[in-house]
Chain A
Amino acid sequence: MQQLPIGATKMLSTVKPLLAETAAETKITARGVSVFYGEKQALFDVDVDIPKNSVMAFIGPSGCGKSTFLRCINRMNDTIPIARTEGTITIDGRDIDDPELDVVELRARVGMVFQKPNPFPKSIYENVAYGPRIHGLANSKSELDGIVENSLRRAGLMKEVHDRMNEPGTGLSGGQQQRLCIARAIATSPDVMLMDEPCSALDPIATARVEELIDELRESLTIIIVTHSMQQAARVSQRTAFFHLGKLVEESETTTMFRNPSDQRTQDYITGRFG
């Protein structure tokens, strides 16, 4: 990690550091990212570095631009006709706006999980197989089966669905549906996963499962999660960024952020003192 904010290096003796402080590699770099919806600017000049194989949480009040920024990373904002993005985002040093980089390929490499579980109205198998199939990741049926199985296993869903792969994905419970969506996203073997409030529609048990899954996926993926739950951000992430009114107010290690944020606005927001 680069320049750490003051005091981030010292912990309260009772709080164990969640992430060993190694100089982690930077996966995603954003410089001067601004987003406009028509005339209205939704995001102001965001600079952030997201380290590899870690979870970064974006927090902030509704409409603060955190989801907007998240959707910049896989260029989902391109699908909104009036949206316009400025600045640069690089993944592994490669500019995502590079005209030689295909946006479809980018989205396959940057998986996304949405607020509401949104499995396709198809079978569980088809849900997971869809991505690999359209990108031609499997050369044979058995290879595809392997990808599907592996994705479901990594999403911790295999045990629950192994005997009903051909049943509709929408017949699963909310938590299972969300894990199915995660399985679908990891089926194209992305190295970045964007999660837009993935647990906001889930009950606490399902939420815990997803959080556990996020923790496991961190080993191989760089995860960015937008959440409204401070506790969730504190539980799953290593670093946290606080957005307010379209600006990145503060970005630091999660333990620091939740123990001793440096910005008064962050403090007020996370302790529930917002006006």
Chain B
Amino acid sequence: MLEHTVKSYEEELKLLDRKIAQMGGLAERQLAESFDALERRDPDLAEQVIASDKRIDALEREVQEHVIAIIARRQPIAVDLRQIMAVLNISGDLERCGDLAKNIAKRALAIAPESHPKPIITGLNHMVELASHQLKDVLDAYATRNAERAVAVWHADSKLDNLYNSIFRELLTYMMEDPRNIGLSTHLLFGAKNIERVGDHTTNIAETVHFLVTGQNLTDDRPKGDQTSTTLISPDWDKKV
């Protein structure tokens, strides 16, 4: 694409992209580190994750201010308008991702003293890896304005949902086996839910990228994999599935 005749406008738009990249990088790291803190029961790392969320929040505010300034000064239209809107949405999603990672870190602090059931941690690890991968992919799709890649990310979210479903069931079983596990399990369940939410934000970003590039919304119903909200807690729940 040609550059803008007004060079400072071009610079401003590029700056927004850089901020998004920065936010994305931070969010990925937060997610990974929060899980590390959970897995290794490392309260220091957890504290560090909680503290660094402020950076993402600050970046989001900066992005908002920039966007407002650009709208006021440049009245962007067409691709520029879409980019501005995309940046605003993506920065919101990334900020939420940061919050979710912070929440995982807080839970890591809470359950640090307790021992973790190995299979569940392994499942969570899978989720985190997948979510991080998705996030990284969608940010690459944004940076390269690649709609197909964004759509791929969007479709891939069901994998994350499936993982979450199985962890949900596992934790339910775990809790039913021994009521003493309920505290730990609940925290882990929320952790898993948080990771699943990161995936949802990633799909949001994917939709935004698709709109940015093509100017059209992704209209198909997204394959929804998370069935936990409709799952009944009954002793024979696993027989139904």
Interface residues, chain A, with chain B CB atoms under 8 Å away: 7, 10, 12-14, 230-231, 234, 257-261, 266-268, 270-275
Contact = CB atoms under 8 A, between A and B. Distances in A.
Contacts of B140: none
B2 A275 contact: yes
Interface of B: 1-6, 9, 75-82, 85, 211, 214-217, 219
A69 to B, nearest CB: 23
A194 B147 CA distance: 41
B80 A259 contact: no
Contact of B82 (A13, A230, A260, A272): A260
A268 B215 contact: no
Contacts of A271: 4, 76-80
A10 B219 contact: yes
A7 B80 CA distance: 18
17 contacts: A7-B216, A10-B217, A230-B75, A230-B77, A258-B77, A258-B78, A259-B78, A260-B79, A260-B216, A261-B78, A267-B78, A267-B79, A268-B2, A270-B77, A271-B4, A271-B80, A272-B6
Contacts, number: 57
B213 to A, nearest CB: 10
A259 B77 CA distance: 6
Nearest to B77: A258
B75 A231 contact: yes
Contacts of B82: 259-260
B81 A259 contact: yes
A239 to B, nearest CB: 16
Contacts of A14: 85
B1, B4, B78, B219, most chain A CB atoms within 10 A: B78
Contact of B2 (A13, A258, A260, A273): A273
A49 B219 CA distance: 30
B217 A12 contact: yes
A16 to B, nearest CB: 15
Nearest to A258: B77
Given A268-B1, A274-B2, 13 more contacts: A12-B85, A231-B75, A259-B78, A260-B79, A261-B78, A266-B78, A271-B76, A271-B78, A271-B79, A271-B80, A272-B4, A272-B9, A273-B4
A259 B1 CA distance: 16
A260 B215 contact: yes
Contacts of B4: 271-273
A10 B219 CA distance: 9
Given A272-B5, A273-B4, A274-B5, A260 B75 contact: no
Contacts of B78: 257-261, 266-267, 270-271
A258 B215 CA distance: 11
Contacts of B215: 7, 259-260
A12 B211 contact: yes
B9, B77, B214, B215, most chain A CB atoms within 10 A: B77
A270 B79 CA distance: 9
Contacts of A274: 2, 5
Nearest to A262: B215
A271 B74 CA distance: 10
A227 to B, nearest CB: 14
